[in-house]
A and B are shown apart, each in its own frame.
Chain A
Amino acid sequence: MRPDPLRACFHVLALLLALLLPDAGHAQTSLQPLLQEHRAAIATPARGTAGAMVAALLSSGHPEAAEFLRRWQDRGVVERRADGMFLYSDDAGGLREIDGGMAVTGLTSRDVSPIRPNAGVRAVVAAALVPLALSDPDPERRRAALDAIARSPEAGQIAPLMASLDVETDAGLRARKARLLTLLTAQFGPDRADRLAAIEGLAGDIAIEARAVLNQITGRVPGVAASLPEGANIARVLEVGEDLTGIEAHDRLVAANLAPPRPTPKDLRDALAAQIEGGSVGGIPLHRLDTQAMRLRAYEALEAAGRVPPRSGPAEVTDAVAAHVFFETYTEPDAEITAAAEQALSATTRQIALYQGADLILDGLSLASIFFLAAIGLAITFGVMGVINMAHGEFIMMGAYTGYVVQIFVPDYTVSLIVALPLAFAVTFGAGVAMERLVIRHLYTRPLETLLATFGISIALQQLAKNIFGTQARPLTAPDWLGGALTFNDIVGISSIRVAIFVLALIFLALLLYILKRTRLGLEVRAVTQNPGMAASMGINPDRINMLTFGLGSGIAGIAGVAIGLYAQVTSEMGANYIVQSFMTVVVGGVGNVWGTLAGASMIGFLQKGIEWFNPSNTLAAQTYMILFIILFIQFRPKGIVALKGRAAGD
């Protein structure tokens, strides 16, 4: 029979196909045999073997392979001890066949051994699954895959990402994919023009991931050589004496093994100590070696005798430094790319500075409103009535503890807050009225002694709170709707509690202005503070007005206490922390004027944040400098920012 060339060709082709797609036969039928081929790697997961196994399973093209790996990394696969077959186990503890999903019964937990891949192995699987997950029908899986890419970007992710971008249906995910693609292209893109375009697109982008990419591209390593290397992407050349000191330069030379190290005083001492002979070193008696100069002379004598290794003296250091150039190179070799990235970064930096300014203003505003809240009660008792109430801080504390006690009885935080605010006002109003009636009333003619009496009340109240509530801080929990933060972008943000405190401060300002300027009570308060005798002859009862005014100031302190307790913790000493600052706020702003207190709080708040901005790690220093500034400020404006004029000013 004559051989049929066509037929032979066909046979060869079929053979080739079978070789190229070794598992084509299995694919339609079952996964288990394939798994058994890699049973060692599957049954005992290890970081070293997982990679190859995962690659093999995924390249088999079996449609169930990805699902298997997902379950395997989630610890949903067990091994049957009897025959080493792998089974799926579901959450309820039931077991299923891998192929077909038939339930397997009659096995106890002793018949199967669990497989527990550790975090490292799971990361390997997750990374391998990412390209597949990008076009997974489940949007949650796609989102998780995108997050995985954002966490550890790699060059190989560009292609699958680009492929999945066109078929993406969800608009939000599509935008996220496009953005990740830009980031990846900027960092790893194979085409220079694409990279440049992507980098330009990142200019002024203040998101942390964009900045991370740009910083990666412009990453630098220090270098030192006899002359500038050819073809390297040099970021800048460092001038010795300007950009780095001679000592630093020499240290770099030493680190690069281009120069011998300088001996430290300790090296010198140790070297000499090793050469002591009969009470002297190098001919110099021991007791004279108590200066550096004498030690150097001794070392030189030893060096001349060849008994110690030569050291690099100052002249050698200078020569070695002069003989080398110091520079920084980009890790990215392409100069055009790094230049574009630097430009994009500087645009971003400008943008960030702008936003940081905005954030600083928000911070200052928030701090100012806290100071304002703490001080506004004092603005009434001290500012309007002239009573120095050192126990004002303890009223703040009483308010906060009232809020804490209410929370014990009312578990719902929103309701308890609504109850606590008026209750705190009532409690501290009562305390204030009692204090005014019992103590302060008798001391109106002796203002400095009010300070002492109220200080006594202050330490007594503090200790009482300590005896009742203990010394540890008590939490005052904010309701959930106050728990979040108002975030504008990656830089500008403010917590909701601070917004609430700001709003509360505004409400108090308006309320107080209204009471003082528009109500009968306010009129009488102003009359009594300006001239009690005349007010009394007009039919106003000064005692009653003083009592009510003091109660009002104290009550506001109580509400402020609830607000402050929400973001700081409640302790018996919390009031003491605010008292000095509150007095300064009132004095700086100008006594006798609510607007003055606002001005004082704003100045102190913004000033403190401003000083902190220069040295963010040190809030203590910021407070110190702020107080010094206040001391100086009062020298020049002893009556405060908003000074009363005319008769109302008194003396």
Chain B
Amino acid sequence: MPAGGFLASQPATLWFLGCLALFTLGVTVLAEGFGSGTLSTSMVKILGMTLCLCLIAVAMDVVWGYCGILSLGHFAFFGIGGYAIGMWLMYARTEGIVTEALLSAPIPPTETEITDAIAGQIFGVVGSSELPALWGFAHSLPLQLAMVVLVPGLLALVFGWLAFRSRVTGVYLSILTQAMTLALSLYLFQNDSGLRGNNGLSGLQNIPGLDHVPQATLSLWFFWASAAALGLGYLFFAWLVSDKFGSVIRAIRDNEARVRFLGYEVEHYKLVVFTLTAVVAGIAGALYYPQAGIVNPAEIAPIASIYLAVWVAIGGRGRLYGAVIGAAVVSLASSWFTGGGAPAIDLGFYTINWTDWWLVLLGFGFVAVTLFLPRGIGGVFDRLVRKS
């Protein structure tokens, strides 16, 4: 099917891409257009990060909402993407600093001396001075970019192959994926994991070689990159689920056994979906963490992946724009409430301070959405569209 025909058959996708383009334009104008910038740099960063979260939410929607696999481990792939790009960012930046320092020495440094100095800088905090083998590719941006795609992809492929092959489904699969992300985060918490233990990788907001570019501009670049990634990712998944492939995975969601009896290799379909979404999650993470500035093992604790599922559920499963709405609404509301943006409510005898009470509200909000809006916020849209 030609691309034009595909888009013509998908008004929702066109609408979404249009909105995204408008939003990007709006943010750019507000941040740069009036000289000083109406939107602060940190706000641009938050919006860019939110777009990355929307991208992983879209991936989650495909794997859960379309294929019926409730993965509670997709944030692990997100984190791996962040670690992969973070290794290059940290290595290259430290290399720049170290080389500069060593150049002032009377004799030019050897390769080993540079590597040792970099390792000392990066791993001094965990009491080591050797560069682990894991960092073998860290000097090269293209190789680490390949890692962003390959490591989550391979992990998902192996894990998914093992799990789907032995027909682990439903809740069991959820718990298994949760165990995976727990194991990964526990592993990374160790100081000798080769990734700086609970310190994580930090200083990622400084891009090597771009020291002369102010953070305001950098954050806008990352915002554009995030918007582009979200647009492309959305387009790709919209195309994927619109085709016959989409029909098959929806059928797997609704009745796996029947699809198998019809002669489809259910496991292969699931594996493709699981792996593709993991790769997209990795890419989203690689764009997210340079804007956040730090990636540490706490990021991929099981609770993060549960939040991801909750965003998708609140936004509305089985419709890609629903995932985007859910992720954007919940994460932006979270930062508004916990950031002190919301005014405290004085009840006379007690003052409701939103930094303390936001999670309570959010928690009961989940319950309310699950009970009364099973199709999520996206479902409300559907109803309105159908009525008009």
| Chain A binder among B38-46, B90-98, B133-141, B360-368 | B360-368
B107 touches A627 (CB 8 A): no
Say if the beta carbon of B105 comes within 8 Å of chain A.
yes
| Chain B binder among A25-33, A594-602, A633-641 | A633-641
Within 8 Å by CB of B176, from A287, A292, A631, lies A631
A638 touches B172 (CB 8 A): yes
Within 8 A of B (CB), among A411-467: 439, 442-443, 446-449, 451-453, 455-464, 466-467
Task: Show the binding face of B for A, using Cβ within 8 Å.
Answer: 70, 105-113, 159, 162-163, 165-168, 170-172, 174-176, 178-180, 182-183, 186-187, 189-190, 302-303, 306, 309-310, 313, 356-357, 359-367, 370-371, 374
B363 touches A461 (CB 8 A): yes
Residue numbers in A under 8 Å from B189 (CB-CB): 620
Say if the beta carbon of A269 comes within 8 Å of chain B.
yes
Residue numbers in A under 8 Å from B180 (CB-CB): 627, 631
A456 touches B367 (CB 8 A): yes
Say if the beta carbon of A265 comes within 8 Å of chain B.
yes
Residue of B nearest to A625 (CB): B183
Say if the beta carbon of A155 comes within 8 Å of chain B.
no
**Interface residues of A, CB < 8 Å — how many?**
56
Query: When A439-B371, A456-B362, A631-B179 are in contact, do A448 and B171 touch as well, CB less than 8 Å?
Result: yes
| Chain B binder among A158-166, A212-220, A576-584 | A576-584
B306 touches A390 (CB 8 A): yes
Q: How far is the CA of A289 from the CA of B113 in the complex (A)?
A: 12
Query: When A442-B371, A623-B186 are in contact, do A456 and B106 touch as well, CB less than 8 Å?
Result: no
* Contact sample, A vs B, 29 pairs, CB 8 Å cutoff: A273-B106, A281-B107, A286-B108, A290-B107, A290-B109, A292-B112, A388-B171, A443-B370, A446-B374, A455-B366, A457-B367, A459-B363, A460-B359, A460-B360, A460-B361, A460-B362, A463-B360, A466-B356, A467-B360, A580-B178, A580-B182, A587-B176, A620-B190, A623-B183, A627-B179, A631-B179, A632-B162, A634-B172, A636-B166
Q: How far is the CA of A638 from the CA of B303 in the complex (A)?
A: 24
Say if the beta carbon of A628 comes within 8 Å of chain B.
yes
A456 touches B170 (CB 8 A): no
Residue numbers in A under 8 Å from B183 (CB-CB): 623-624, 627-628, 631
Name the distance in Å between A449's Cβ and chain B's nearest Cβ.
5
Within 8 Å by CB of A620, from B168, B186, B365, B366, lies B186
A580 touches B179 (CB 8 A): yes
Which applies to chain A's interface (DSSP): helix, strand, loop or mixed? helix
Number of A-B contacts (CB under 8 A): 154
Within 8 A of B (CB), among A245-277: 265, 269, 272-273, 276
Name the distance in Å between B363's Cβ and chain A's nearest Cβ.
3
B110 touches A587 (CB 8 A): no
A460 touches B370 (CB 8 A): no
A638 touches B167 (CB 8 A): yes
Q: How far is the CA of A235 from the CA of B366 in the complex (A)?
A: 71
Residue of A nearest to B165 (CB): A635
Residue of B nearest to A622 (CB): B186
A455 touches B310 (CB 8 A): yes
Q: How far is the CA of A388 from the CA of B170 in the complex (A)?
A: 11
Residue of B nearest to A463 (CB): B359
Q: How far is the CA of A215 from the CA of B371 in the complex (A)?
A: 69
Identify which of A447, A462, A587 gathers the most chain B CB atoms within 10 Å of its CB: A587
Say if the beta carbon of A291 comes within 8 Å of chain B.
yes
Residue numbers in B under 8 Å from A584 (CB-CB): 175, 179
Query: When A452-B313, A620-B189, A635-B163 are in contact, do A463 and B363 touch as well, CB less than 8 Å?
Result: yes
Residue of A nearest to B184 (CB): A624
Residue numbers in A under 8 Å from B172 (CB-CB): 587, 634, 638
Q: How far is the CA of A333 from the CA of B184 in the complex (A)?
A: 54
Say if the beta carbon of A36 comes within 8 Å of chain B.
no
Residue numbers in B under 8 Å from A290 (CB-CB): 107-111
B374 touches A449 (CB 8 A): yes
Residue of A nearest to B366 (CB): A456
Q: How far is the CA of A281 from the CA of B106 in the complex (A)?
A: 11
Residue numbers in B under 8 Å from A466 (CB-CB): 356
Say if the beta carbon of A14 comes within 8 Å of chain B.
no
Residue of A nearest to B368 (CB): A456
Say if the beta carbon of A618 comes within 8 Å of chain B.
yes
Name the distance in Å between A11's Cβ and chain B's nearest Cβ.
81
